[in-house]
Structure 1
């Protein structure tokens, strides 16, 4: 039976990240003192690292690939700006993944258009938060998931215990992996309500979902946002609230605008926001359930790396690219062989991201899943939303452990820099929380 260290962070507990795998004391410290402290570079499916240095081999084809550099803007908003500038439809702009907003990020982007260096220079002269680099021809467009992962260069400042760093690195080298939780940005560290909204939508509590989104106030959000939410809560005046809700709160404003015209139609109000945002709410609750399931396993002393009978493992296409090509149910007969495959990098323990097609595990691990669903008062059939079908989710699987690749670290002044690669869908902040062990993640830059 394994034992793990419990978190002291209220936010961690609220989001289901209840344990640490690394028992060594944390370094403390802060992330993102400046944007340059958090650098994210996409790694393509063939191992190319996105960079403005343009060391890529020129190809051929009808698509132009570029490197998109962005700062303080989300990927979706950046793509819309690019599409508008070049007179393209959104579907003519391809990306492989979404990148952090509060960071310096480089990722590949594909356009179904011819783009010259002169056109790029014109674009870059008009935009400060977004830049384009390195045009190259390719015979196909990018699509979501068509990447290996990301390469991170992160500085941690105002560290309390620099001497703790070496112990943590040594412990990680022994354990090799940490729990593959969904990170803070999946929920929002300032207003962590997305999973709560998602749960209420699933349960058919549409008014309560909207109230959670519009009216709940958190101390870390802007004063203007707090005043707008307070006004709407006190008056219920959607028309007037539209005048004072910050323009940055796009989804909230869309719902308010709809309810001002259609009082009481809460389903219609939720359907009025983009499908992406609706799926984001449901996906956040799925992420929360995954985090809680992973934490529950650890609470019962089960491994997050190796399976127990009744678990499932994903089989990889190759050890160099952990793309899951099939699932295998683990039993007493194949348990030792599956452990060997995991040690050789040929397989990984996977846990369900619950949806309406999810099949619960067997044995003790299945009992843990059922216990979680009972506690949450959720049945997986609820993920097929009859009133908002476009937000339905069939479910999937996710690797239970996160393994950083090529980790390097160096100390500077009162902080340290850490570099590593992660496979797609894994969060750098999940690894960093093991090192920092933040007591207040939001204030510490998470």
Structure 2
């Protein structure tokens, strides 16, 4: 009997301990060139001929979305708040999405001459582009440098694709990006924040060295961890570690004010730590469900399901507990793609399941020594989280083609194409095919 593949330590440390597929992985690398990772936004927006917002199609390569919006606003001499977009897209990729610019005329776009950026006006609207407009994304991804010959890879990928299609998707894990690829500690920082150990959280983020970093970064972090010499640390840290440097600057100005040090970060970045901890717990609970052989595409008594909204997306505000009387009806809705089994994003008011699902949820909370009330965050109340629930399956119907690798002689390549609803990670699909260390997969990303 073949032993099921075991996820690498990096994934297991973020709560991902299983695969939904049983076939061997291809290995390989992604993003050798940006064109290997193409992302096209999927939206139902229909633009008009008039309106206060100019609607544009933005195609970019090797650009961080936030940095690009900043540069566009500077070129146009406008506030960043006048630019709307539906989602942040990958940097090391070729991506296409819609953006809106308030009170702007088409000829003004000619001033934007940025490398690897194309901005084309497609209409106008009285409604800015925002997250609510985004249904999801279409991905076209090439996995390169696969050592096995084309025919063997074709067989492996075909079997994995068949297993995914039988289930109807893959587990809705939070991908490794949520935790940090080179230094996956955001959930550890979040745990300490929830536990009220603000000093420990700050030192974890500022000073804990990690093997995936450069020697310079590891040595400078170790120095600060050993000495708590934040003033000296500012001089030693590489300039790229700007968030850590900003926190240390606050600690030099106000020694011992670790909560104040976190205020040197943006609100979104501060919230990221707590969200990462919640993501770790979600991943772990979902992994345990799969380890016990429980389905993700079918409800069991005690499960909590959510329903599809008008946009065709899972709506975690519309939930129902499943019992013996409602089980058949709910599973009929699940088969039709109108309902989804959920798992908990743990917070101080998260509704918890019953039955076998509750046993798993409670076991993880006890094993991880989770303080539910800690999510009220009295020391940093702006980070408090009530919690919610999230669907445990990503519906996906991948298509593939196996070819010789045109960029690497003697290797095979896999071209994958699939659509994902917003909030889902493409890496959760890729990991089922590659079954390799995400850190190694991303070597070519330059991160």
With normalisation by structure 1, the TM-score equals 0.90
Cα separation, 2, equivalents of 1:92 and 1:245: 35
SS of aligned partner of 2:438: coil
Q: Look up the match of 2:440.
A: 443
Q: CA deviation at 1:44?
A: 1.3
Q: Pick from 208, 230, 234 the counterpart of residue 238 of structure 1.
A: 230
Cα separation, 1, equivalents of 2:253 and 2:122: 46
Evaluate the alpha carbon distance shift between residue 316 and residue 154 of structure 1 in structure 2; reply closer, same or farther with a 3 A threshold: same
Q: Pick from 272, 290, 305 the counterpart of residue 298 of structure 1.
A: 290
Q: Pick from 343, 353, 364 the counterpart of residue 372 of structure 1.
A: 364
Q: Look up the match of 2:158.
A: 166
1:429 aligns to 2:427 (yes or no): yes
Cα separation, 2, equivalents of 1:230 and 1:131: 43
Cα deviation digits, residues 187-245 of structure 1 (max 9, x gap):
11111011111111111111111121122222322343234323323443222322332
Cα separation, 1, equivalents of 2:116 and 2:285: 38
SS of aligned partner of 2:441: coil
Q: Look up the match of 1:104.
A: 94
Q: CA deviation at 1:106?
A: 1.9
Cα separation, 1, equivalents of 2:129 and 2:237: 36
SS of aligned partner of 1:22: coil
Cα deviation digits, residues 406-437 of structure 1 (max 9, x gap):
x3211221111111110000111100100111
The 5-angstrom pairing of residues 25-40 of structure 1 reads 25-40=24-39
The 5-angstrom pairing of residues 44-443 of structure 1 reads 44-46=43-45, 58-117=48-107, 119-124=108-113, 127-128=114-115, 130-161=117-148, 162=153, 163-317=155-309, 321-324=312-315, 326-405=318-397, 407-413=398-404, 414-438=412-436, 440-443=437-440
Cα separation, 1, equivalents of 2:438 and 2:206: 23
Evaluate the alpha carbon distance shift between residue 27 and residue 128 of structure 1 in structure 2; reply closer, same or farther with a 3 A threshold: same
8 A contact 2:403–2:413 mirrored in 1: yes
Cα separation, 1, equivalents of 2:125 and 2:239: 38
Q: CA deviation at 1:444?
A: 1.4
**For structure 1, which runs of at least 5 residues remain unmatched after alignment?**
47-55
Cα separation, 2, equivalents of 1:259 and 1:74: 29
Cα deviation digits, residues 354-387 of structure 1 (max 9, x gap):
1222121122211211111111111222111112
Q: CA deviation at 1:32?
A: 1.3
Q: Look up the match of 1:10.
A: 9
Q: Which shifted more, 236-245 or 257-266?
A: 236-245
8 A contact 1:116–1:135 mirrored in 2: no
Cα deviation digits, residues 79-114 of structure 1 (max 9, x gap):
222233323333322221122222222222222121
SS of aligned partner of 1:442: helix
CA RMSD of aligned residues (A): 2.1
Cα separation, 2, equivalents of 1:13 and 1:249: 26
Q: CA deviation at 1:131?
A: 4.1
SS of aligned partner of 2:328: helix
Cα separation, 1, equivalents of 2:116 and 2:366: 46
With normalisation by structure 2, the TM-score equals 0.90
Cα deviation digits, residues 8-36 of structure 1 (max 9, x gap):
31011101111111112212211111222
Cα separation, 2, equivalents of 1:9 and 1:418: 22
Cα deviation digits, residues 259-280 of structure 1 (max 9, x gap):
1111111111112311110111
**For structure 2, which runs of at least 5 residues remain unmatched after alignment?**
405-411
